[in-house]
Amino acid sequence: MISRRQFGYGALCGLAPEMAFAQHAAVPGEVPAGTVWLNANENPDGPPDQVKQALSGAIAESGRYNHRVFPSLHAALAKSVDLEADRIITGAGSTEVLHCALDAFTSAKHPLITAWPTWEMTQELTEAAGRTVVKVPLMKDWSADVERMCAEAGKAGGGVIHFGNPNNPTSSITTKDQTRWLAANLPPNTVLLIDEAYIQFADSAKIESGVNLVREGGNIIATRTFSKLYGMAGVRVGFGCAPAELVRRMQPFRNNVISIFGARAAMAAVQLGDSFVEERRTRRNRIRAGFCSWLDERGFRFIPPQGNFVLIDIGRDVKDAIPRMLAEGVAVGRRFAAVSGWMRVTMGTQQEMEKFKAAFKKVVG
């Protein structure tokens, strides 16, 4: 008889479609020379120099498993978010931590209750495991409908409530008041899972990290990644913050220890501190603000962004516009069925955004 753990691993890793594991960022076929990549919410600045040096130095260590390094990694990550090391779980990007949470805390009886639309991976993995997904539409202001999500969890007798903050693909936030209300009203047997991949780009005083709620106790998991602001998408390293008991329950579902390259890169990244985060956020958001002004001038509706990307209402299905933009040398975000008339574009360099504008004028108008 196959065990629950074996079933979960097979369903969430071996049996799920390959698309459930990727960022859906691959563009098939040939692309024009000089294409700018504004499709995967990556950071064009790439890794900082200190991280590049750490990656280079890790080559000499890569012949061994290096288990001795990981206590230092957990300590460094914990210090960066003011938590104890036993409240940290690492993974290949925050994606692996999300995998672990879904496997540990959803079941045949306990569904995933997710804000919608959002990044589809959590839905796909849960459904691949034969478990129920309850999609709760975002509210008119594009925030999570926390009261309805709470009610759905109560009706089901527990499960996982999930949303991104900021959310992908909308780049919108769920406010501090909403998040705190939900944390205070979680039904029994319910875990709140907040994906904070883009929170370091948020400049709204209305948002609050779930890490603060983890410090205060409760069934809260907040996931972070080094893929976005730190420009380390190809390094594949992230972490989750949660009460020690939730971390203990997630650990068996990890694939393995992360690469020594990820470990060394993450330790170098957190040493850069808050000033580095602020510098990168300020530069990227300055480009974002200028881009939004350009959209305003042209009369295009968009959701006020808090991530490093903008979702634009182009007034028609994006399925035809996406390949036409690519033909002009600009890769933009994929089509999201729930917002099929909206185009997601990542904030690139100023030069890349100028190329986007020229292509957008030609393709969209």
pLDDT at 82 over 60: yes
pLDDT at 11 over 60: no
pLDDT at 7: 34
Confidence bin at 252 (pLDDT 50/70/90): very high
| Dihedral, CA of residue 79, residue 82, residue 85 and residue 86, to nearest 10 | -170
pLDDT at 19 over 90: no
pLDDT at 8 over 50: no
pLDDT at 13 over 90: no
pLDDT at 342 over 60: yes
Contact between 195 and 94 under an 8 Å Cβ cutoff? The reply is yes
pLDDT at 25: 56
φ, ψ (nearest 5 deg) of residue 142: 70, 20
Confidence bin at 27 (pLDDT 50/70/90): confident
pLDDT at 133: 98
pLDDT at 325: 98
**8-32 average pLDDT score:** 50
pLDDT digits (tens, 9 = 90+) for 109-139: 999 999 999 999 999 999 999 999 999 999 9
Distance of CA 89 to the CA centre of its chain: 16
pLDDT at 91: 97
17-46+274-363 in CATH: which number?
3.90.1150.10
pLDDT at 17: 36
Four-residue CA torsion sign, 315, 320, 322, 327: negative
Task: Provide the 10 A C-beta neighbour count for residue 175.
Answer: 18
pLDDT at 26: 64
pLDDT at 12: 38
pLDDT at 28 over 90: no
pLDDT at 24: 45
Q: Of 110, 65, 124, 89, nearest to 254 (Cα)?
A: 89
DSSP 8-state code for residue 98: H
Contact between 125 and 146 under an 8 Å Cβ cutoff? The reply is no
Task: Provide the 10 A C-beta neighbour count for residue 304.
Answer: 14
pLDDT at 203 over 50: yes
pLDDT at 300 over 90: yes
pLDDT digits (tens, 9 = 90+) for 145-202: 999 999 999 999 999 999 999 999 999 999 999 999 999 999 999 999 999 999 999 9
Q: Which residues, 6+ apart, have CB-to-CB distance to 327 below 8 Å?
A: 32
Contact between 99 and 125 under an 8 Å Cβ cutoff? The reply is yes
pLDDT at 302 over 70: yes
> Which token pair is 5?
């753990």
**76-105 average pLDDT score:** 98
Q: Of 270, 258, 244, nearest to 95 (Cα)?
A: 258
pLDDT at 31: 87
Does the reported pTM lie above 0.75?
A: yes
Q: Of 121, 125, 119, 189, nearest to 153 (Cα)?
A: 189
Amino acid at 113: I
Q: Which residues, 6+ apart, have CB-to-CB distance to 243 below 8 Å?
A: 87, 214, 217, 218, 219, 220
**42-65 average pLDDT score:** 97
Domain ranges of the chain: 17-46+274-363, 49-273
* Residue linked to tokens 């540990």: 104
49-273 in CATH: which number?
3.40.640.10
pLDDT at 340: 98
